Amino acid sequence: MYYQLYMPCPNCMQDGRPTTPVYWHHEACGGNMYLGDNGMAYCEKCGETIPLVNCEFSCPECNPKSSMDCLVKRSELKCIAKAMTVVGAVATTGAGLKWLNRTVNAIGLQCEE
Ligand SMILES: [Zn+2]
Ligand SMILES: [Zn+2]
């Protein structure tokens, strides 16, 4: 099950900048991003799926070169702390608790690989 990815920017949260929830887009094509309880981010436009732990987030606030709130594939990133910040941000927007538990488990498995 997928929810549209709607949350504050994890970078800005980590840096303590005030940030409000936004809908995220795929930088490569501008499509809307969804987050599944399999721990995968999914682009509805081009169909690309990326493990959340391999995603980097970029918004105009923390990256002046970024024209919109978007998500970038970055395979070298394997940071569970960051992933958990992301999940915590999703949680604040009220996704179902069961869905959230499954998502956290899936992301934990990704980080162990
Ligand atoms: Zn896309
Ligand atoms: Zn940001």
pLDDT, tens only, 28-57: 899 999 988 888 899 999 999 988 877 878
Q: Express each pLDDT in 60-92 by its tens digit.
A: 888 877 766 666 655 444 455 566 666 666 665
pTM for this model (two decimals)? 0.73
Neighbours of ion ligand 2 (CB under 5 A): 9, 11-12, 59, 61-62
pLDDT at 109 over 70: yes
Q: In terms of pLDDT, which residue wins out, 2 or 67? A: 2
Domain around 71: 2-112
**44 HSE (CA, 13 A, CB side):** 13
**Nearest ligand for residue 72 CA:** 1
Q: In terms of pLDDT, which residue wins out, 113 or 6? A: 6
Alpha helices in 1-113 (DSSP H): 10-14, 80-92, 97-112
Look at the chain and report how many structural domains it folds into: 1
Neighbours of ion ligand 1 (CB under 5 A): 26, 29, 31, 43, 45-46
Mean of the per-residue pLDDT values for the chain? Answer: 77
CB under 8 Å to 24, separation ≥6 — which residues? 5, 6, 7, 32, 33, 57, 69, 70, 71
Q: What angle do CA 8, 94, 57 make, to 5 degrees?
A: 25
